[in-house]
Structure 1
Amino acid sequence: MTPAELSWTVLSTVRRAVAAEELQVAVPEKVVVQRPPRPGCGDYATNVALQLAGQAGRSAYEVAEILAVRLAKEPGIAQVEIAGAGFLNITLSARAYADVVRQVREQGAGYGRGDALAGDAVTVVAEPPGAVRATLVAEAVNALLRAAGAPPGGRRESLSVAEPEPEPEPARQEQPHDPHRLGPDAARWALLRPPAEDAPRPTSALLDQREANPLFRVRYAHSRTRAVLRNAHDLGVRVEAAARDPYRHPAETELLGLIADFPRVVETAARRRAPDRLARHLERLADAYLRFQDECPALPKGDEKPSAVHAARVRLADATGIVLAGGLHLLGISAPDHL
């Protein structure tokens, strides 16, 4: 279940509560669900009860109680808890997580693409024309707009960003703040990763193959997912065997939540003209995968026989790699299988 699907489920729950006269409110056009700010608060949270409380003539907690009872019965939802004044914390079922993995693997590079902006025919152009960073950001924003369904042409929208200021780095012979010295992938990351209003400081550290380099971490995580697939085949893990994937470990559910959130991130980055949002999401996804890799072995060790758990984790690794590659490609950055 993706955030968009969960949002629709919550909205349908509100609609049914209104039809049953449990609530007397105007049904909103959309409901926002978000990842909670800290662990232990479910997989997603929504403040819909607080939004409806005034119309309903009830406290937000009372509205949340009505919705929680109905939501808990929905397929794919394992638990609903009320927090604070009336926030709904929603935990998805293992089956819902398995559906996310299946969707990603079936859709491949198409996962994350949608039609939310289908009615907005727009093309973003750099301002001033020819500015290095503005041109790259405009390219990335246009790719995001197409991924979110916005057709090209129609309205033209100018985009201006803070450009990098070349300056020497102490103890270096070169001027590493010149993005042209970094090569296309590192240069794109250097110019797209900071928010538009922040002047980027491209440095040769983006070429380092070490954990401190966020671009390396993202590409390394992707390459590790491809290595897991290759090794799983060699070890006889039946990756394609049908099974109900038992995703319950916190490292698994954290990773799955970020995968499920990818379509919303693409849409939001397109709406806000902010490819940096996608870059930051890829960092979080890569970090979550590397934790998952350490805590949830996907491959049998020694004399251990391949199991359904191994197969499920290999499928999750595959889905992660698909999303990481898809996100990098939207930014115009390559995703090599080997590093």
Structure 2
Amino acid sequence: MTPADLSTTVLRAVRRAVDEDALRAPVPARVRVERTRPGGRGDYASAVALQLAGPAARPAREVAEILRERMAGAPGIGRVEITGPGFLNFTLDASADADAHRALLRRVREQGLRYGHGDALAGAPLQLSHAREIRAAVTADAVRRLVRAQGAPVRISCDGADEASDPDWARLGITADAHGRPPTPLTEIRPVPAGATAGELLGRLGPDATRWGLLRPAGHDRARLGDDLLVQGEGNPLFLVRYAHSRTHALSRGAERLGFTAARDEVSAEAFEEPAASALLAVIADHPAVLAAAAHHRAPDRLARHLEAVAHAFLDFHDAASPLPAGDEKPSAAHRTRLALAEAAGTVLAGGLSLLGISAPPYL
């Protein structure tokens, strides 16, 4: 069970309690669940009962008990406990969790770079508009990629003249469907300007670092476009993400030399129980929700930060439980399962970078 699945299960319990008139409170749009902190109980916790206590005019622990009764026996949940003033604590069913992890890896493998794409925004065409300024143009291009990945047709208009005649903009992959301000309703893309031209940025940084530097900060923050974007070290998030991606390919090549491949459906449940593997599985499972939110809010910076989280989780996993056997050790089911997880991480990193318009080379 992923965090998103658990959130949906808790939300269903709230809705059921309201429908049965056991709880008189507005049903929230979503329920937040978080990993339990060290020393806490269970795998995940939620404060939803505390949030509903006021509107329901009932003690939080009483609300929590109402919800616990309606979650007992839910698929994927082994135990629900109430702690403190009314926190719900969830211990997942290990066997169901392993099945969910198998299904997740299968889904990533089958969907490839389109993993996380969906139809959350399917419907009326979206018209984006941006000024003739390089950060606005790159952001609009990334938003178009994200929104299209969620099923919406998109058109972009640039307030200025045709940038197709500018080879520097073309090198950054920027195109527009129209120029000037169309009469239809617009979504304006207006981040803080870069303070430099496309030619200046390309001359110093090249296309990939330029795009990352313009997209990584939130639109209301100034973009930091120094030469640190080119540093090959962990302090450079772009390098970290691309390095993690290249390591996943290196693992696959190493496994091929040793004569084994990643597990498909017959995977080792024990390998999923390793803490570093669980953390990596969690961020991979979060990927579709991150893509949907980044598209909905027109915020490619959310995807960039998520890719950093995936890279960190993968490198921690790689250091804690290498997919490759050491010395004379024979490849086991656990190694094949870890390799499948590493390859899934590589797929997420490559697909995410592609949506940002940034290359993901298999070698660095």
TM-score w.r.t. length of structure 1: 0.86
Deviations 1:118-174 (A, max 9, x none): 245313221x2x21000000111121112223332574211111112359xxxxxxx
Matched to 1:161, the amino acid is P
Question: What is the number of residues matched between the two proteins?
Answer: 328
Q: Which residue of 2 aligns with 1:182?
A: 205
Q: Tell me, what secondary structure is at the counterpart of 1:115?
A: coil
**Correspondences of 1:222-261 after superposition (within 5 Å):** 222-238=245-261, 239-240=263-264, 242-246=266-270, 247-261=272-286
**Correspondences of 1:134-283 after superposition (within 5 Å):** 134-153=136-155, 155-166=185-196, 178-238=201-261, 239-240=263-264, 242-246=266-270, 247-283=272-308
- Does 289-298 or 36-45 show the bigger shift? 36-45
Q: Tell me, what secondary structure is at the counterpart of 2:240?
A: helix
**Structure 1 residues 261 and 84 mapped into 2: Cα distance closer, same or farther (>3 Å)?**
farther
Q: Which residue of 2 aligns with 1:28?
A: 27
Please report how far the alpha carbon of residue 302 of structure 1 lies from its aligned counterpart in structure 2 after TM superposition: 1.2
Q: Which residue of 2 aligns with 1:6?
A: 6
Q: Tell me, what secondary structure is at the counterpart of 2:127?
A: strand
Task: Report if aligned partners of 1:180, 1:187 keep a CA contact under 8 Å in 2.
Answer: no
Task: Report if aligned partners of 1:251, 1:292 keep a CA contact under 8 Å in 2.
Answer: yes
Q: Tell me, what secondary structure is at the counterpart of 1:88?
A: strand
Selected match of 1:133 from 132, 135, 145: 135
Task: Report if aligned partners of 1:33, 1:44 keep a CA contact under 8 Å in 2.
Answer: no
Structure 1's unaligned 5+ residue stretches are 168-175
Deviations 1:289-309 (A, max 9, x none): 111100012111111111111
TM-score w.r.t. length of structure 2: 0.80
Task: Report if aligned partners of 1:43, 1:89 keep a CA contact under 8 Å in 2.
Answer: yes
**Structure 1 residues 206 and 120 mapped into 2: Cα distance closer, same or farther (>3 Å)?**
same
**Structure 1 residues 142 and 255 mapped into 2: Cα distance closer, same or farther (>3 Å)?**
same
State the identity as a percent. Answer: 52
Task: Report if aligned partners of 1:24, 1:55 keep a CA contact under 8 Å in 2.
Answer: no
| C-alpha separation in 1, matches of 2:152 and 2:215 | 21
Task: Report if aligned partners of 1:125, 1:157 keep a CA contact under 8 Å in 2.
Answer: yes
**Structure 1 residues 102 and 45 mapped into 2: Cα distance closer, same or farther (>3 Å)?**
farther
Q: Which residue of 2 aligns with 1:171?
A: none
Over aligned residues, Cα RMSD in angstroms?
2.7
Matched to 1:117, the amino acid is L
**Correspondences of 1:19-168 after superposition (within 5 Å):** 23-25=22-24, 28=27, 30-36=29-35, 44-71=44-71, 73-92=73-92, 93=94, 94-95=97-98, 96-119=100-123, 121-126=125-130, 128=131, 130-153=132-155, 155-166=185-196
Please report how far the alpha carbon of residue 206 of structure 1 lies from its aligned counterpart in structure 2 after TM superposition: 1.5
**Structure 1 residues 69 and 222 mapped into 2: Cα distance closer, same or farther (>3 Å)?**
farther
